[in-house]
């Protein structure tokens, strides 16, 4: 998501959410609850205090009536698969601000979301042109995450209807630590950076090879995103480094829970 994504329809009336933020009692509790992989918890240990403070601030905001997105169990979803299995990093900006859309993975939307966010539609168009993969009817990118694609937003929460509202809240220190951990771990690994905000993070990624292009937003997709072939280029980098390619084809439909 980026700040150019705005709610697609009138926001529904919020329902009270008292679910605890899974990082409020530290990373050991988040690992025990299945929210964070153990090796990611080790990598994020230097910013554990920041995360506990973030949980307190989010709770304060929620108590004041702000609706926090995504749902608390999904906030750390990008860290739920092992760091050791990471193969591609795709950086986003912040979660979709429309309630019921964001799911804790950058650019990914909950399976029931219709219509799809506009940036994601453009990602699917490029996916099809680049790889020939059919375009799914849903926006759930979990199948990529399951293969080691780290779908990480720069900022991991947002206020409903207010894109970019949690920038400078403190998440940047957490995602800085995540990028440092990826750089230290090394390859086979490739980073896909769409847009200037993501590309500004390139120095933090050290030796990781980078695929950079315009953002898939409707405002910029025709100025360098379309035709950039990020998916096949990422696979070429992985194979060249001795790794296995990603199967970028997504299930055409997500089974109902």
Please tell me the distance from the alpha carbon of residue 102 to that of residue 224, in angstroms, as a whole number.
26
Catalytic, out of 2, 39, 74, 94: 94
| CA angle 193–232–199, rounded 5-degree value | 10
Measured in whole angstroms, the distance separating CA 160 from the mean position of its chain's CA atoms is 17
| 94 assigned to active site | yes
84's tokens: 């050791």
Question: Active-site positions?
Answer: 94
């Amino acid at each position: 998501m980026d700040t150019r994504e705005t709610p697609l329809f009138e926001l529904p009336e919020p329902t009270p959410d008292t679910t605890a933020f899974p990082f409020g009692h530290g990373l050991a509790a988040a690992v025990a609850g299945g929210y964070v992989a153990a090796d990611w918890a080790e990598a994020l240990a230097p910013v554990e205090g920041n995360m506990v403070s973030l949980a307190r601030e989010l709770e304060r905001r929620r108590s004041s009536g702000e609706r926090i997105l995504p749902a608390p169990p999904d906030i750390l979803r990008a860290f739920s698969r092992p760091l050791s299995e990471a193969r591609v990093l795709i950086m986003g900006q912040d979660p979709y601000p429309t309630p019921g859309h964001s799911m804790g993975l950058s650019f990914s939307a909950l399976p029931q979301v219709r219509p799809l966010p506009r940036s994601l539609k453009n990602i699917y168009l490029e996916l099809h042109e680049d790889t020939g993969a059919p375009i799914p009817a849903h926006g759930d990118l979990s199948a990529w995450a399951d293969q080691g694609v780290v779908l990480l937003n720069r900022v991991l929460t947002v206020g409903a209807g207010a894109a970019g509202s949690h920038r400078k809240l403190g998440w940047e220190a957490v995602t800085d630590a995540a990028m440092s951990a990826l750089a230290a771990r090394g390859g086979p690994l490739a980073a896909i950076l769409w847009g200037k905000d993501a590309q500004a993070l390139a120095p933090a990624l050290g030796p990781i090879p980078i695929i950079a292009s315009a953002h898939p937003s409707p405002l910029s997709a025709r100025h360098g995103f379309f035709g950039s072939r990020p998916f096949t280029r990422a696979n070429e980098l992985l194979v060249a480094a001795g790794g296995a390619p990603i199967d970028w084809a997504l299930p055409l439909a997500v089974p109902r829970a």
